[in-house]
């Protein structure tokens, strides 16, 4: 699944987007790309679960991926390990305010062990396909506040057990605020329409998060702290999840970012922890 918001370096980006006036880039498009010297600061939707309200500049491509992702959950006699062997998102800038995005896990493995019975199951296959459109309303290139609409649809390309073989959709509204001392605050309210566990009809799920980030010692290294929650209102019973997410990014080159992070479950419904390393690159 799509995961995450990253902005590196945060302090320099905060200074950039607060500056005014911004250059007029409204005439650039997929077929008339934004000049490299006018591209906005490097900005991705990873690490952590948040999304940042910036879009890819017109005519440019960005990919973001987990190089490796492992999550572990222990619930009574059951333990489950989930491995994502890469989890790429590809983004294409259509205009100065709009990009389109596609995400799929080409190889996912879920290992489940029931210690009471001694049984083990191993599910392996690709994940579902997520298609998104990101439309920036304000703050793409300047200002202390940025707001974006991010609707998505999930197409059921995964095998049963990895996915639920159902089309699902939702909308995210990323918001960012430049705070004093160049801290950056991100809020990501989200509403999803998900298939019922009974496979009869749909229900609503709500997600929310608060992400605070700042450069660490040098501008090219950024630290992220995030609180995330989900209220999944399935008719069989509400599933409430929450986690504390921590991550660090390193902007190795102007268009190349590396990251590492971990998510710590705060209740029994949430995986105990999830760890990952990732890469993002812009062309």
Q: Which of 177, 231, 178 is nearest to 208 (CA)?
A: 231
Q: Does 1 fall in a domain? A: no
Q: How many domains does the chain divide into?
A: 1
Q: Does 276 fall in a domain? A: yes
Percent of the chain with pLDDT over 70: 93
Q: Does 110 fall in a domain? A: yes
- pTM for the whole structure: 0.91
Lookup: tokens for 213 = 């980030």
Q: Does 209 fall in a domain? A: yes
Q: Does 271 fall in a domain? A: yes
Token look-up 């069989």 returns 236
pLDDT tens across 156-210, in order?
A: 999 999 999 999 999 999 999 999 999 999 999 999 999 999 988 999 999 999 9
Of the pLDDT bands very low, low, confident and very high (cuts 50, 70, 90), residue 12 is very low
Write the CB contacts of 82 (distance below 8 Å, at least 6 apart in sequence). 70, 71, 72, 73, 108, 109, 110, 111, 271
CATH (domain of 163): 2.40.160.40
Q: Does 17 fall in a domain? A: yes
* pLDDT(281) > 90: yes
Check: CB of residue 71 under 8 Å from CB of residue 59. no
* pLDDT(271) > 50: yes
102/219 Cα distance (integer angstroms):
30
Check: CB of residue 102 under 8 Å from CB of residue 129. yes
For the segment 213-226, the average pLDDT, to the nearest whole number, is 96
pLDDT at 1: 39
For the segment 265-281, the average pLDDT, to the nearest whole number, is 97
* Host domain of residue 233: 6-282
* pLDDT(18) > 80: no
pLDDT tens across 94-133, in order?
A: 999 999 999 999 999 999 999 888 899 999 999 999 999 9
Mean pLDDT of the chain: 92
Q: Does 152 fall in a domain? A: yes
Check: CB of residue 249 under 8 Å from CB of residue 222. yes
Q: Does 179 fall in a domain? A: yes
């Amino acid at each position: 699944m799509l995961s995450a918001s990253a902005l590196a370096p945060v302090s320099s980006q905060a200074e950039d987007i607060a500056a005014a006036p911004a250059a007029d880039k409204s005439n650039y498009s997929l077929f008339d790309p934004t000049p490299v010297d006018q591209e906005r600061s490097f900005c991705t939707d990873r690490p952590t679960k948040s999304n940042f309200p910036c879009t890819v500049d017109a005519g440019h491509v960005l990919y973001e991926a987990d190089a490796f992702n492992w999550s572990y959950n222990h619930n009574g006699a059951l333990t489950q390990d989930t491995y994502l062997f890469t989890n790429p998102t590809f983004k294409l800038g259509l205009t100065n305010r709009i990009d389109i995005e596609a995400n799929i896990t080409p190889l996912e493995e879920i290992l489940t062990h029931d210690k009471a019975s001694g049984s083990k199951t191993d599910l392996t296959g690709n994940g579902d396909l997520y298609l998104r459109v990101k439309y920036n309303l304000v703050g793409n290139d300047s200002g202390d506040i940025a707001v974006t609409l991010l609707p998505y649809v999930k197409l059921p390309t995964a095998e049963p057990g990895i996915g639920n073989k159902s089309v699902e959709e939702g909308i995210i509204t990323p918001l960012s605020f430049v705070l004093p001392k160049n801290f950056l605050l991100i809020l990501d309210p989200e509403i999803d329409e998900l298939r019922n566990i009974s496979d009869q009809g749909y229900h609503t799920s709500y997600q929310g998060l608060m992400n605070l980030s700042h450069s660490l010692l040098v501008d090219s290294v950024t630290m992220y702290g995030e609180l995330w929650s989900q209220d999944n209102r399935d008719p069989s019973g509400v599933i409430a999840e929450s986690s504390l997410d921590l991550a660090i990014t390193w902007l190795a080159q102007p268009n190349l970012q590396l990251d590492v992070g971990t998510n710590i479950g705060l209740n029994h419904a949430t995986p105990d922890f999830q760890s990952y390393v990732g890469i993002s690159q812009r062309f």
